[in-house]
Structure 1
Amino acid sequence: MGFAEEHHQWLEYHKKRRTGERLDRLERGHGHGEQMFLERVWWPIFGNMDNLHPEYEVADWRGRPYFVDFVWKPGQVKVAIEVKGYGPHVQNTDRTRYRQELNRETYLQIAGYRVVAVPYDDLESSPELIISLLKALLTPCLLKNKDEGSRQFTSIERDILRIASRKNGFLRPVDVVKQLGINRRTARKYINFLCEKGKFKPVLEQGSNRVCRYELIHSFLDSEVW
């Protein structure tokens, strides 16, 4: 599934779960800059939008609602991401509003969020820089959940993932049979488990509904988890 289709489904998923001001804010606030961040930075890193929430409502230090462009919550990690343009955030003549924005960012960190400010201009001119910086920031955060991530896979499943990785991301049940010495039924069972866990997707034979192999769905932390 490509970015456009995935983004549409992800956005509709969140819209269906919101009403009132929270829905209105999502429809108004998820604009060009936010979509460009997803397409040019987030998608190349992760290839999905799992655990990512758009226009996420939090309370500020006064208890008033505040909407963050994105909040990413995998496990115990909480990352608040704001896409910031030069005009609204630097040339803002409303000093009270600007001061409150800075105080909100400080409060988010007190509340346990890692706060990331993404320059809009860099999304247009050098998204690869944002990708590099974001990977460096998020990798240590995710490694806090390394043991938890490892436990979601059995020993056989991790072996199968390693085999697929060595075969450039594509796997046939017969490859598992040969490498692990297990029977074909057992190999298919564990591959199906990994499909359910989002690590494989079936690839159909051209012009047929028959599955001929499985494609590994990569994560940039795969080597740390397996």
Structure 2
Amino acid sequence: MEFEEAYAAFLSHHIQRRTGERRGRLVHRNFHGEKMFLHKVWWPLKGSLEDIHPEFEILDWRGRSYFADFAWVTPWRFTVLFEIKGFAKHVRDMDRNGFDNETNREVFLQSLGYRLLSFSYDNVANKPEVCLTLLRLFISQFQAPALPSPTMDPREKEIVRLAFRLARDFRPIDVYRHLQINYRTARTLIDRLAAKGWIHPVPRGREERGVLYRLTDGACHFLQ
């Protein structure tokens, strides 16, 4: 299933499950930034929208409704709240009282056991690979990944270093240019790293060409 199809089904599912104001927020609100987060960050990470909930309502310390952009009920018995924050609303146009309430709410949510992760709209729009890398690192602390094989030749080690420095999915041509080797050799080294558990191919849409690779969760843990 492609993202647009999955997103339409995701939104329809949550609209049907809600009533009143909670339903109206999903029907009438402009979800441009939130949809972009799902498309550019969450979908590449999970390949699914099944475990994430939009406009997640919580009563704050004043008894007022607060709606997080998304909530993810994790396998580790806690819920992660995601906020996509635009500079204008959350910085430039915020007064002192609004800023106080924002910080109070963050502490209150943490005290209830939620984990709150905020991403700027600009980063989601222009640097989604950074958001993806940071989110993957956040998740990795709760996993017990199988560590990859430590046996590598110097060129394989350099590919792993390159992948970590790039902080994004990489292509065989990145390896070919960085190591100044021929393309076939670059592919052979990549295949060997994949077999050893250091990297894995990234699923892509039917309309996208080429193959991308990324470090496995085990590799990120091993490198820390």
TM-score bracket, shorter-length normalisation: 0.5 to 0.7
Give the Cα separation in 2 of the matches to 1:19 and 1:54. 14
Residue 77 of structure 1 deviates from its aligned partner by 2.4
Residue 54 of structure 1 deviates from its aligned partner by 0.3
The answer as to whether partners of 1:60 and 1:66 remain within 8 angstroms in 2 is yes
Residue 221 of structure 1 deviates from its aligned partner by 6.3
Residue 103 of structure 1 deviates from its aligned partner by 1.1
- 1:112-127 correspondence to structure 2 within 5 Å: 112-127=113-128
Residue 222 of structure 1 deviates from its aligned partner by 9.8
2:2 counterpart letter in structure 1: G
Stretches of structure 1 lacking an aligned partner (at least 5 in a row):
147-164, 167-219
Deviations 1:23-60 (A, max 9, x none): 11223445100000000000000000122000000110
Alignment-derived partner of residue 102 in structure 2: 101
Q: CA RMSD in A?
A: 2.2
SS of residue matched to 1:89: helix
Taking structure 1 as reference, are residues 35 and 74 closer, same or farther at Cα in structure 2, changes over 3 Å only?
same
1:124 counterpart letter in structure 2: A
Stretches of structure 2 lacking an aligned partner (at least 5 in a row):
146-193, 196-215, 220-224
1:115 counterpart letter in structure 2: L
Alignment-derived partner of residue 151 in structure 2: none
- 1:131-210 correspondence to structure 2 within 5 Å: 131-141=132-142, 143=143
The answer as to whether partners of 1:30 and 1:69 remain within 8 angstroms in 2 is no
Deviations 1:59-113 (A, max 9, x none): 1012211100000002312101000011101112432223212211111111111
The answer as to whether partners of 1:85 and 1:120 remain within 8 angstroms in 2 is yes
Q: Percent same amino acid among aligned pairs?
A: 41
* TM, length-normalised to structure 1: 0.61
Give the Cα separation in 1 of the matches to 2:3 and 2:46. 11
The answer as to whether partners of 1:92 and 1:98 remain within 8 angstroms in 2 is no
The answer as to whether partners of 1:29 and 1:69 remain within 8 angstroms in 2 is no
The answer as to whether partners of 2:72 and 2:79 remain within 8 angstroms in 1 is yes
Alignment-derived partner of residue 63 in structure 1: 63
1:58 counterpart letter in structure 2: I
1:9 counterpart letter in structure 2: A
The answer as to whether partners of 1:30 and 1:54 remain within 8 angstroms in 2 is no
2:130 counterpart letter in structure 1: L
Deviations 1:123-181 (A, max 9, x none): 1211100000000002223x28x9xxxxxxxxxxxxxxxxxx98xxxxxxxxxxxxxxx
Taking structure 1 as reference, are residues 29 and 70 closer, same or farther at Cα in structure 2, changes over 3 Å only?
farther
1:39 counterpart letter in structure 2: H
Alignment-derived partner of residue 27 in structure 1: 27
Give the Cα separation in 2 of the matches to 1:10 and 1:115. 22
Alignment-derived partner of residue 205 in structure 2: none
Alignment-derived partner of residue 14 in structure 1: 14
Alignment-derived partner of residue 53 in structure 2: 53
Taking structure 1 as reference, are residues 51 and 222 closer, same or farther at Cα in structure 2, changes over 3 Å only?
farther
* TM, length-normalised to structure 2: 0.62
Taking structure 1 as reference, are residues 105 and 29 closer, same or farther at Cα in structure 2, changes over 3 Å only?
farther
Give the Cα separation in 2 of the matches to 1:54 and 1:125. 22
Alignment-derived partner of residue 36 in structure 2: 36
1:110 counterpart letter in structure 2: S
Taking structure 1 as reference, are residues 83 and 17 closer, same or farther at Cα in structure 2, changes over 3 Å only?
same
Q: How many aligned residue pairs are there?
A: 150
